[in-house]
Structure 1
Amino acid sequence: MNKTIKVAGITLISIAVLIVVGVIFIYSSLDSIVKAAVESVASDMTQTEVTLDNVSISPTTGEGSLSGFTMSNPEGFKSDDAFKFENISIKVDPTSIANDVVIINEIRITAPHITYEVGPSKSNIDTINENAQTNSNSSESSDSGSDSGPKFIVEHLYLNDGEISVAAAPLGDKTIDVALPNIHLKDIGKGDSGASPDVILKAALGAVSKNITGALGSVDLKGLAKGVTDGVKGVADGVADGASAVTDTVGDAASGAGEGLKDAADGAGDALKGLLGD
């Protein structure tokens, strides 16, 4: 009896130690877990390269910051970056960190810089948003409603004091700078018992794209797009004209060489006839 109680006591102590170790691991690794998750999920969804310089979140207060967020442009665009956020502050409910659903009280992105590059058919932001929507839908279909992966509830997400720089080939190295209206999203994932990181990113990018469209209402995007298209066409025509000129030159040279060979052959024939006394 005493032996059984002793064994049970040791087992409970062992379980308690494992739980404590697990909690300590989660808390001590929180920064690296968040950094890896943001970079991996955002890069896969948007088909760009997403990097974070640093993540610092206090496991006791739940407050922290993410610095140096950069999202590159998709293939086919010349600008280096599409999004740059120097500072993102975050407040997490510390009691929920080890739970199945982590509650994020607030995400605040201050002074985000967005480069909107006009392409011949669509912009870089349109391309990124389409990638995010498509890959998020694919992810949701493959999960089929499963509970795999962490879930979050974001009570408030802010983007304040942002700036959009419009870039296009007709502008050269210059840009048209426009203020981005403030964005405030509430209760992402609250009605669905939490949202996966890709659903949160999809919601954020959708709101950003919508606000960008509204902010750029005074910019002649169609005219810039036409300028890009005309520029591409001009380059293509120039290449075609150059190729045609090369072909004509080679053709003329070949023709000249053929006539020269014919004259030489005729001259040799006449000389041979003279030797034979003909």
Structure 2
Amino acid sequence: MNKTIKVAGITLISIAVLIVAGVIFIYSSLDSIVKAAVESVASDMTQTEVTLDNVSISPTTGEGSLSGFLMSNPKGFKSSDAFKFEEITIKVDPASIASDVVVINEIRIKAPHITYEVGPQKSNIDTINENAQSNSGSSDNSSNGTDSGPKFIVEHLYLNDGEVSVAAAPLGDKTIDVDLPNIHLKDIGKGGNGASPDVILKAALGAVTKNITSALNSVDLEGIAKDVKGRVQDLSEGAASSASAVTDTVGDAASGASEELKGAADGAGKALKGLLGD
């Protein structure tokens, strides 16, 4: 009898040690786990290359940062990257780290830079959105927790002080930089069993697309063309004929870019509606 009790006691102690070891492993490997998850999930969904330079999260306070986020452009676009975030701060509920649903109190993306490149048929952002939608699971399954994998609740997601660089063939190597309206998403995954990473990413991309479309409406390409034309007309008399040819070319290019960007903005709006299921 005593021998049986001893064996049972040893077994329970062994199980406890294994549990503690597992928790220690999770906590000590948290940074690398988050880094690998972000790079893998985002790359697979968007069909781009996503990299992170560094992840640092305190398992005791739940506060941390992700630095050097870079998402390349899809194939067929010349710009080197689509999204670039220098720093992302994060606050996680420490008590939820080892649970089935991890509660993220706040994600704050600071001063992101987005390149919006207009392609022959669609923009790079439209393409990324379409890839994200087609390469993720069903929104219903992902949001209610019936699929496998970790689940999250994101109470607040901020994207502030962003900038969009608009690139288009008629503009050559030049870009038009516009401010991106601030974004604040709340309670992603709340009210169910948490949200899978693809649902969170789709929600963020949808909000970004909507705000990029809004930002593009403020681009005055005709005004830019007039400004360039005025500068060219200040050239010396000896270059007058050449200046005239240059200004005409710039005016035509800007006019063409205006139409192209208008079509791209309309396409982005349609992509957003499809993304959000409206």
- TM-score bin, normalised by smaller chain: 0.7 to 0.9
Q: Distance in 1 between matches of 2:58 and 2:27?
A: 8
Name the amino acid aligned to 2:156. H
1:218 CA displacement: 2.4
**Is the CA contact 1:118–1:224 (under 8 Å) kept in the aligned structure 2?**
no
Output the amino acid matched with 1:189.
Answer: G
CA distance in structure 2 between the partners assigned to 1:206 and 1:66 by the alignment: 21
**1:171 aligned partner, one-letter code:** L
Equivalent of residue 223 in structure 1, options 228, 240, 256: 256
Distance in 2 of aligned mates of 1:138 and 1:225 = 37
What's the counterpart of residue 194 of structure 1?
A: 194
Conservation of the 8 A alpha-carbon contact between 1:82 and 1:124: yes
Q: How well do the aligned residues superpose, as a CA RMSD in angstroms?
A: 2.2
Counterpart of 1:218 in 2: which secondary structure?
coil
TM-aligned CA distance change 1:223 to 1:92, over 3 Å:
same
Cα deviation, 1:200-229, whole Å, max 9, x if unaligned, reads 00000000000100111123598327679x
Summarize deviations over 1:94-127 as a string: whole Å, max 9, x none.
1110001000000000000000001111111111
User: Alpha carbons of 1:106 and 1:166: their partners in 2 closer, same or farther (altered >3 Å)?
Assistant: same
Structure 1 residues 147 and 188, CA gap change in structure 2 (3 angstroms): same
The one-letter amino acid of 1:114's match is I
Counterpart in the other structure of 2:113: 113
| CA distance in structure 2 between the aligned counterparts of 1:211 and 1:144, rounded to whole angstroms | 27
Structure 1 position 14 matched with structure 2 position 14:
yes
Percent identity over the alignment is: 86
| Partner secondary structure for residue 90 of structure 1 | strand
Q: 2-side partners of 1:191 and 1:222: how far apart?
A: 48
- Give the counterpart letter for 1:223 in structure 2: G
TM-score (norm 1): 0.77
Separation in structure 1 between the aligned mates of residue 129 and residue 14 of structure 2, nearest angstrom: 49
Shift of 1:84: 0.1
Report deviation, 1:77: 0.4
In structure 1, the residue matched to 2:122 is: 122
How far apart are 1:144 and its partner, in Å?
10
Structure 2 counterpart SS, 1:107: strand
Shift of 1:147: 4.0
User: Contact (CA 8 Å) 2:110, 2:159: kept in 1 or not?
Assistant: yes
Other-structure match for 2:224: none
1:240-264 C-alpha deviation (Å, 9 max, x unpaired): xxxxxxxxxxxxxxxxxxxxxxxxx
Report the CA distance shift for 1:49/1:112 in structure 2 as closer, same or farther (over 3 A).
same
The one-letter code of the counterpart of 1:192 is G
Give how far 1:141 is off.
Answer: 7.0
Q: SS at 1:190's partner residue?
A: coil
Post-superposition Cα deviations, 1:144-186, rounded to whole Å, max 9, x if no partner, equal 9634110000000000000000011111111100000000000
Seen in structure 2, the aligned counterparts of structure 1 residues 59 and 190 have a Cα distance that, compared at 3 Å, is same
Partners of 1:119 and 1:225 within 8 A in 2: no
Q: Does 1:179 align with 2:179?
A: yes
Cα distance between partner residues in 1 of 2:98 and 2:215: 40
Q: Which amino acid aligns with 1:69?
A: F
State whether residues 89 and 108 of structure 2, in contact with CA within 8 Å, keep that contact through their aligned partners in structure 1: yes
For residues 201 and 72 of structure 2, the distance between their equivalents in structure 1, rounded to whole angstroms, comes to 16
Deviates most, 164-173 or 144-153 = 144-153
Q: Aligned AA for 2:76?
A: G
Aligned residue pairs total: 228
Give structure 2 stretches of 5+ with no counterpart: 222-253, 262-278
> CA 1:75 to 1:89, structure 2 compared with 1: closer, same or farther past 3 Å?
same
1:1-278 to structure 2, matched below 5 A, reads 1-137=1-137, 146-219=146-219, 223-224=256-257
Return the alpha-carbon distance in structure 2 between the equivalents of residues 177 and 218 of structure 1. Answer: 11
Larger Rg, first or second structure (1 or 2):
1
